[in-house]
Amino acid sequence: MKITRSDPIPDILVIEPIVHLDGRGYFLELYHEARYREIIPARFVQDSHSFSRAGVLRGLHYQLGKPQGKLVSVIEGEIFDVAVDIRRGSPTFGAHAGVLLSAENHRQVYIPEGFAHGFCVTGERALVLYKCTAPYDPAEERGIRWDDPLLAIPWPISDPVLSPRDRVLPTLDTMREDELPM
């Protein structure tokens, strides 16, 4: 597999698994513990799966007291996936990394703990699989506005479909320090 560190945040890893193609289709390993342990020093404890329609934007989400690292893969469709460094004191605080993930390119992205995460669907639909390093805990869930002007994320859609909760998330500059991870 090929591993690329994201620019400007080298903690974000873009992973391109080995894909075996033939006349029947393809085969790849989405996760192999021994191989992935060499690059990701985390243990995955939960798999989550989402379906989203065209124009949907989910995020930017994170868990505060029980942070999650995520290994994100697209099973069907295509998304623009974004991670924002919100670790207090980080040299890349407020920076973001975006990567196009699709069923065709088979890329994965690893987002460590301490990052807000979101994505938007760039096609008709997307099935997204997340391997997480901590269980989902709704009491710990937090978020940042997708269109925060200080983050200046170049989302490929301008009028996304959002959840009611995502519509009212705060901007990073209005958040208290204790609402951000160390």
* Residues labelled catalytic: 61, 130
For residues 22 and 133, what is the distance between their CA atoms, to the nearest angstrom? 34
What residues pair up with 102 in beta bridges, in sequence order? 78
Contacts of 106 (CB under 8 A, 6+ apart): 16, 17, 19, 28, 73
With tokens 């987002």, the residue in question is 111
> Could you give the C-alpha distances from 64 to 29, 43, 82, 137, 180, in angstroms and in order?
31, 18, 18, 10, 7
With tokens 């919100």, the residue in question is 86
Least Cα distance to 133 among 36, 11, 43 occurs for 43
For residues 108 and 99, what is the distance between their CA atoms, to the nearest angstrom? 9
